Amino acid sequence: MLYRENGQFKTGYAEDQQIFPIRQDRIVILVLVAVAFLAVPLLANEYLLRAILIPFLILSLAALGLNVLVGYCGQISLGTGAFMAVGAYAAYNLQVRIDGTPLLVSLLFGGFCATVAGVVFGIPSLRIKGLYLAVATLAAQFFFDWAFLRIKWFTNYAASGSVAVADLSAFGLPVVTPVQKYLFCLSIVALCALLVKNLVRGHVGREWMAIRDMDVAAAVIGIRPVYAKLSAFAVSSFIVGIAGAMWGFVYLGSWEPSAFSIDRSFQLLFMVIIGGLGSIMGSFFGAAFIVVLPIVLDRLLPALGAGVGLHVDTATVSHVVLMIYGSLIVFFLIVEPHGLARLWSMGKEKLRLWPFPH
Partner 1 sequence: MKSKSLPLVAAIVAAALSATAPAAFAQAKEQFIPVLSYRTGAYAPNGVPFANGYVDYLKYVNAKGGLNGVRIIYEECDTSYQTDKGVECYERLKGKHGGASLVEPLSTGITFALTDKAPGDKIPIITTGYGRSDSADGNVFKWNFPLLGTYWSAADILVNYIGKKEGGLAKLKGKKLTLVYADHPYGKEPIPYLQEASKMHGFELQLLPVALPGIEQKSTWLQIRQSRPDYLFLWGWGVMNSTSLKEAVATGFPRDKMYGVWWSGAEPDVKDVGDGAKGYNALTLQHGAEPNAKITKDILATIHGKGQGTGPKEEVGSVLYTRGLLASMLATEGIKRAQERFGKGKVMTGEQVRWGLENLALDQKKIDALGFTGVMRPTSTSCADHRGDAWARIHTWDGTKWNFTSDWLQPDDSVIKPMVKASADKYAAEKKLTRRTPEDCQSAGGS
Does residue 304 touch partner 1 according to CB under 8 A? yes
Does residue 334 touch partner 1 according to CB under 8 A? no
Does residue 248 touch partner 1 according to CB under 8 A? no
- Name which position in 20, 47, 227, 331 contacts partner 1 (CB under 8 A): 47
Q: Using CA atoms, how far apart are residues 217 and 200, in angstroms rounded to an integer?
A: 19
Does residue 252 touch partner 1 according to CB under 8 A? yes
Interface segment toward partner 1; rule CB under 8 A; list 64-72, 202-210, 302-310, 337-345: 302-310
- Name which position in 7, 307, 309, 357 contacts partner 1 (CB under 8 A): 307
In the complex, least distance from residue 294 CB atom to partner 1, rounded to whole angstroms: 9
Does residue 98 touch partner 1 according to CB under 8 A? no
Cβ neighbours around 18 below 10 Å, total: 13
Show the binding pattern over residues 314-333: x = contacts partner 1 (CB under 8 A), - = does not: xx-xxx--x-----------
In the complex, least distance from residue 37 CB atom to partner 1, rounded to whole angstroms: 21
Give the nearer residue to partner 1 in terms of CB position, either 220 or 315: 315
Question: What's the burial of 222, exposed, middle or buried (CB within 10 Å: 0-12/13-18/19+)?
Answer: exposed
Does residue 254 touch partner 1 according to CB under 8 A? yes
State which of positions 155-194 bind partner 1 (CB under 8 A): 159-162, 164, 166-167
Tell me which residues touch partner 1 (CB under 8 A). Answer: 45-48, 50-52, 55, 96, 149, 159-162, 164, 166-167, 251-256, 258-259, 295-296, 299-300, 302-304, 307, 313-315, 317-319, 322
